[in-house]
Amino acid sequence: MKIRSVGIIANSRKESAAQDSCRLGEWLEKRGISVYFDSEIAVKAGYGPGVSKQELPKVSDMIVTFGGDGTLLMAARCTRGYNIPVLGVNLGTFGFMTVVNLNEMFDAMELILKGQFSTSRRMMLEASVDGKNMSALNDVVINKGNPSRMVDLETFVDDRYLTTYKADGLIISTPTGSTAYSLSAGGPIVFPELDSMIINPICPHTLTNRPIMIPADSTVRVVLLTHEEDAVVSMDGQDSFVLKPGDAVTIRKSKDSINLFVSPNRDYLEVLRSKLGWGGIL
């Protein structure tokens, strides 16, 4: 794969995002690479009107994100279906998917332009409810609206009854998302290239309700039984909508996936050790 054009998406709330984006843009243009900035950061960086995030995948051979995992998650949903790889440059303090640090950016890009790179394919989820369809790279989360009450979530796997969770909520996660909210809720760490889903209750009333891994080709259906106001289903903690009592959320593996560039400097196990502070101090 030869890279001729690069789309740049950045978290404009990060203080250095505009400057760092410009540095990469200028570096790429000197090497004959066409550069397209997403509209938000283009205005802030003085690069004209830019291109909308939805249009960037149509004109780019790859996407570079500046920010944290949240920025990359947003880019993943914009690029799904286009089969172009995404490189995450970390401007934050913690990130499992933004595997290239700022001081490694040019070296990593040099290797990519030479074709000396590898990518990791990551499965995505698709959630549907009441005729609305949304996608997620990390997780689909159903949260209670009232902080003082639990919700009852009747859960089926391939139309077979699993259980009715009485809990603060429920996380349905991909392997990529296993190190996100699901990990905080006591879920397992799963190698990101595996095809599977994790069903993980949030603070369940029944302590024997434990996280469960299921095959990726399963279909999960969760019905909100509680007459709960403002219960919400959210995708990657970014896109969300309110549920009504009786609503059923259906989650399945998306037909689309995303390819993330692998760090040339460290493998996944090293990322785990450094991010989670295994054998050392965080």
CA distance 164 to 125: 22
69 is a catalytic site residue: yes
Q: Count Cα neighbours of 50 within 13 Å in the Cβ-side half-sphere.
A: 24
CA distance 181 to 40: 28
First to last CA, the chain: 38
How wide is the angle at C-alpha 35 spanned by C-alphas 34 and 37, nearest 5°?
A: 155
Q: What is the DSSP string of 76-126?
A: HHHHTTS---EEEEE-SS--SS--EEGGGHHHHHHHHHTT---EEEEEEEE
State how far the alpha carbon of 275 is from the alpha carbons of 22, 180, 220, in Å. Answer: 28, 12, 31
> Do 186 and 200 contact (CB within 8 A), yes or no?
yes
Catalytic pick among 38, 69, 168, 236? 69
**Residue type, position 175, single letter:** P
Residues labelled as active-site residues: 69
